[in-house]
Structures are given as C-alpha cells and as structure tokens.
Homo-oligomer: A and B are copies of this chain.
Amino acid sequence: MATGMALPAAATERPLTAAETDPVTLGWMQGFPPPPERVIGQPDSDYFSFPKLRWTVCHFRELLPTRRVSRGLEAPRPLPYALDKGIDSVTFSPLGGGEPMSWEASLAANYTDGILVLHEGKVVYERYAGCLDEAGVHGAMSVTKSLTGLLAEILVAEGALDETARVASILPELADSAFSNASVQQVMEMTAGLAFSEDYADPDAEIWSYNAAASPLPKSEGYEGPRSYYEYLATVQPAGIHGEVFGYRTVNSDALGWIISRTTGRSVADLLSERLWQPMGAEQDAYYTVDSIGTPFAGGGLSAGLRDLARLGQLVLDGGQLNGERLFPQAAVQRIRQGGSRDAFARAGYATLPGGSYRGMWWVLHNDHGALAARGVHGQTIYIDPTARMVIVRFASHPVAGNAANDPTSLPAYQALAEYLMARE
C-alpha cells in the first residue's frame, strides 16, 4: 500500500508527470479511514488543486450535491468493437516543434484518464488510467457547454427556440443585465459583450464571485451577493458590442441553460436525459453539480462515462441518426458544422486554433477534415472528424487549466490518427 508515501517533491524544472501524480499510486482516499494527509473532503476547499484534482475529477459527487441524468431503465445499446493494435505506434509532430511522438506516449504527456476512438462507428481504441475505468464517470468540465449548445441547437432546428430573439424577451429577469439585448445566437456563439473575466490568476476576476454565488454550500457569514446561477446572471454588466468579438465566458452557457429550461419547462439534466441519454442507449447515468436551488451547472458541471460521451459524439457525427432512427433534426448539427463568425473568433487570438470559430458552443476547426470539438479545461474532449468518420473522446486531468497546454500534443495526434484510419481503408 502506498497510502503513507510522501508526495513527490515538486520539480522546479518541469511539472510532475502523469505517473508521478497517479491518484491510485498517491493513495488519495484509500483506507478506512484514509490517513489524514490523504483525505480529499468537502471542507477541504483545495480539492481541485493539482495533483488532488486527478482524484477529484472522478469523484465530484462525493464532494458536492448533484443531479442525475438518467439513462433510463432499458438495456444499454452495445458499442461495436474492432480494436486496432497499430494505433499506439501512430506518430505525429507536436505543434511548435519538438521530437516526433507516438500516440501512446501522448497519452501520459496529456495526463489522459481515458480515451476512446470510434472509426466508422466501431471502437478501434480504448484506454483507461488514473482515477478512471470503464465503469466510472469523469468530470467533462467545459465539454458540458457543447451538450448545452447541442440541446439549444436542437430546439432551434425544431422551431421551439428563436435564435434571433433578445434574451430579455425570454428571461425578463435579465432585462437589467448585459444579456438583455443580446440575441440567443450571440449567447450561443459567445459573442455577447459581457464584463466577465475567467482569469483565475486575477483575484478580482468575476469568476470568483460567480463561483461563490454558484456554491450549494452555506454562504460565509455576512455574504450579501447572489445565491444561485440565475441571480448571478442578472448582475452581469456589459462590455463592448454584442456580436463583434468571441469571448469565452462560462456565463453564456448558464444563460443558455436557463433559456432552455424556460423554453422547455425542463432542467438541462432532464432534457439531456430525455433527448439524448435515454434514446442513445447510454450505459451509465451521468450527473451535474448543482447550485443552492438545484440548478444544474450547464457551463461545466457534467460528469459522464467515457463510452457514453463516445455514443454522443457518434450521434453528432451521424447528424442525429442512430441505427436508422432520427433522434433530432440534422439541421442542428449542420448549423454547428457551418461554424460561427471566424472574424469574431480571430479577434480573440487562440493560437492553437487558427482560422477556427465557435458555434452552438462547439469549437469548429475549419480544417481540411471539417473537424469540430467539445473541449474541457484540463484536456477533456469530444473530437469529431467527419472526413475520417472518426470520433475521439478523451478525459484528462492536465495540471495546466487551459487547452493551450495540451493542444500541441493532442490536436496533431488526432489529425495523424485520422490519416492513419483513412489510409487503412
């Protein structure tokens, strides 16, 4: 048992590796009780610091109230398998130079906890590491936004939601906020002009007051701020002009979640279950973290099984069809694949996604293969390559909160794998 071992000393030259921070090896929460220095508990506000976060990403529900996304009661739909042992040896050149790297080596480099590749609808690759196994769930972080966006695009395609409507016409509670005269589409493309910083390095950034409002735990004595996602959204102030610049701000996703719920009478958790999780034959329930009034965190609160995210990715690739049955209008995916304003996106300066755009809360690469992706802050992704008929889903717990840290050893790996799979045919 490794429960009593000391943490590896922090290296000054490099971050601790995936192997050095393996949550099983480090012994977090092992033993009855775990040794005090290996407890990750709720009063410990430090549970999302690295390397603890490598345990926490699989255990949010043990720390926070959550709301279920039911898979229903039916048997799961099996995923067909056609594993390809050659994939580990696929090599690629990392962005920005560096030695060629194998697919297999990229997994540890990116602190991968689970990765599954579908080609032509069949599982060709599947690996688990860290805190995750096939029967577990993992925090999807901002991949959640893309599911919120997909639900909204489905409602738009079905005519239930008018993307040209002003937000305040749907949510009068936001009439005095920056969202008021933004269109639903601007919220969905994150071009609403909002004074909201997600710079975690800035103690005055709005993300901190947002987190405080969102916490379902009792507020600290004397707390006078907003007490839910909805209350917070009503306080967001304007900055800039709607529609001009892409600004990646989580509040857009939570405003969209609210728009969805007001429109459908369903929480996003229930709507995700009814529209996608149950019909696609998910094998595990998923869940959302919630605020003090039970609102699911539509901007980042989802935890799900890897295979179920793969089922979702395949459904998007197939334009809403599953085994010949149509689950939602093809237009919902077509709209996302067209992309959003590339000009607005270019002004935001994402170095690893040149020429890209953002639409329906998906990242559209506008590359030769027409790839699109859902992306989470520690390296989570649903990466869909329509040309290669490939879906990659990955859970990860990278020490750096930002995809610029893992894109150099993941985006070119995905492209190389797509080319490998296409060349097999």
A residues contacting B by CB (< 8 A) are 29, 32-34, 39, 41-43, 59, 61-68, 70, 72-73, 75-76, 134-135, 216-219, 221, 228, 230, 258, 261-262, 265, 267, 283-285, 287, 290, 292-295
Contact of A73 among B33, B72, B262, B283 (CB under 8 A): B283
Contacts of A34 in B (CB 8 A): 293-294
Contacts of A43 in B (CB 8 A): 217-219, 292
Which of A62, A73, A265: most chain B CB closer than 10 A?
A62
In the complex, what distance in Å separates the CA atom of A67 from the CA atom of B58? 11
Contact call A65/B62, Cβ cutoff below 8 A:
yes
Given contacts A29-B294, A65-B64, A66-B61, A73 and B135 within 8 Å (CB-CB): yes
Nearest CB on B from A27, distance (A): 13
Contacts of A287 in B (CB 8 A): 61
Contact call A285/B283, Cβ cutoff below 8 A:
no
Given contacts A216-B42, A218-B218, A290-B62, A295 and B33 within 8 Å (CB-CB): yes
Given contacts A216-B42, A219-B43, A134 and B73 within 8 Å (CB-CB): yes
CB-nearest residue of chain B to A67: B62
Contact call B41/A293, Cβ cutoff below 8 A:
yes
In the complex, what distance in Å separates the CA atom of A349 from the CA atom of B181? 69
Could you list 6 examples of A-B contacts with CB < 8 Å?
A29-B293, A33-B230, A39-B294, A41-B216, A41-B293, A65-B65
Contact of A218 among B39, B42, B59 (CB under 8 A): B42
Q: State the 6 A-B residue pairs at the shortest beta-carbon distance, nearest first.
A: A75-B75, A32-B261, A41-B292, A43-B218, A42-B216, A73-B283
Given contacts A218-B218, A258-B32, A294 and B135 within 8 Å (CB-CB): no
